[in-house]
Amino acid sequence: MIIIGERLNSSRKPVLQAMENKDENYLQKEALKQEQAGASFIDVNAAALLDKEPEALEWIIPLLQEKLSVPLAIDTPNPKAMEEGLKAHRGKALLNSLSGEKEKIKSLLPLIKEHKPSVIVLCLDEKGLPRSPEYALSIANRLVDLLVKEGLDTDDIFIDPLAHPVSIEPDAAPLFLESLRRIKEKMPDVKTIAGLSNISFGFPQRRLVNRIFLSIAFLNGLDAAILDPLDAKLLRAISAAEALLDQEPSLQDYGRETRKKTIKIKE
């Protein structure tokens, strides 16, 4: 499972404060902790800074890269901020995100051509979130074709079928899983990704629901997830799912690690 660390998001109050107060130490530590916990990308979102977002990313990205050996996922709906973020990023960034909306494609495609980042594709267009797996697949298919034409490797494309909150749509999880399955079946070389927390929005015991959802999604072919890598129980659920599927770490490693950790972490 590829982990994208979600903690550096300006929707979290301490992060917003650190971004506003230019607290370099806090931001670097928050990034490094996530890398050390196993994240392969660190998501950075400064959208709550509104018109200051482009300059914030231009400042934060090199600041974080001083300390990190993994790349950043540049998480913004604002094309201008994305442009500044991609310019500031050394090496291949992860663009979060492109979608099927015409305006998005028009503004982001030239940036993708120029910087050749990895790209997260949201299954969403002008009509909003798809209500059927067929529609999610058709958006994914169209955008993957477009990106491959621009010279991207399928390996560098992550499709996000977008989980809806179960508290609002009772069939959100089966819809997500069916979209995931269809996308994997049609495009086995592209990666799939999900932000974990949407599914449990407005639901009791969110962390537990997220953990169970992630395990089910993983067993159905999810390659990557945006989550809090410092959530020890969540990370252990991932290791358990990996061990069950005979991926890394092996079952033996899982047993050894678990015996060590159960001393500290109660089930």
Residues that bind ligand THG (CB under 6 A): 6, 9, 11-12, 75, 96-97, 120, 160, 195, 197-198, 226
Q: How far is the CB of 258 from ligand THG (least distance, A)?
A: 25
Q: How far is the CB of 246 from ligand THG (least distance, A)?
A: 28
CA dist., res. 53 & res. 84, Å (int): 9
Q: How far is the CB of 73 from ligand THG (least distance, A)?
A: 8
- CA trace torsion 4, 18, 50, 8 (10° rounding): 0
**Which residues lie below 8 Å from residue 137, measured CB to CB, with a gap of 6+?**
123, 179, 182, 183, 186
Length of the chain equals 267
User: 72, 65 in Cβ contact below 8 A?
Assistant: yes
Q: Which is nearer to ligand THG, 133 or 195 (CB)?
A: 195
Q: How far is the CB of 178 from ligand THG (least distance, A)?
A: 18
Q: Which is nearer to ligand THG, 65 or 210 (CB)?
A: 210
Q: Which is nearer to ligand THG, 133 or 161 (CB)?
A: 161
Nearest to 27 by CA among 9, 40, 41, 53: 9
Q: How far is the CB of 151 from ligand THG (least distance, A)?
A: 22
Q: Which is nearer to ligand THG, 12 or 87 (CB)?
A: 12
Peptide bond between residue 249 and the one before it cis (omega within 30 degrees of 0): yes
**Which residues lie below 8 Å from residue 232, measured CB to CB, with a gap of 6+?**
261, 265
Q: Which is nearer to ligand THG, 210 or 239 (CB)?
A: 210
